[in-house]
Amino acid sequence: MRWQVLPGQRPGALAMPTWTGLRGKLFHVASGGGRRLDDVTPGSTDGTTWMGGPATGTTVLPTGTQQMWQNEYFWLDGSVTLHQNEQGADYNLFAQASRLDQVTDDVATPPDAGAGIVRYGLVRDTGGDTAPVPQYLTRARPADPATVPQRSRVTPPPH
């Protein structure tokens, strides 16, 4: 999933996307894209990040929300619905399937490799079913998907 935060369009409080109706397993396995979105953009003289800055305003995450990277990778064995609860700050999400070699190449790209790469990626998968589940995940199908709690408590899938 690729993030694009648009503080120049509409800064402010970001309503996080939510995952609902999970059937099976969903794990957050890696973060990449060469940057967290709160990293200072290369060449910035005023502290501007990919979350915004003095000229555009900033996009603010809910308290306790994990800072997202440009690219977030998830492993899904089953099905789930991803909701872009865009209210407040503007953002775009681009979801697409990725191969393991693409994820590996992304997280291993060194800083200063061009295109705003400022850090190596982060692998969260330990090889078992112990990688974290995403925040804002539920097996339920609430009428308002923006109400999914931040601290997901996902029971094992039914047998």
The domain total for the chain is 1
| pLDDT per residue as tens digits for the range 24-59 | 999 999 999 999 999 999 999 999 999 999 999 999
25 belongs to a structural domain: yes
Its domain, for residue 34, covers 2-126
| Residue-level pLDDT at 153 | 74
- Least confident span in 5-14, 61-70, 107-116: 107-116
Whether 157 has a pLDDT exceeding 70, the answer reads: no
| pLDDT per residue as tens digits for the range 126-141 | 887 778 889 999 999 9
145 belongs to a structural domain: no
* Nearest in space to 89 (alpha carbons), one of 49, 52, 65, 59: 59
24 belongs to a structural domain: yes
148 belongs to a structural domain: no
| Residue-level pLDDT at 159 | 59
Identify the residue with better confidence: 125 or 152: 125
What is the average pLDDT score of the chain?
Answer: 93
144 belongs to a structural domain: no
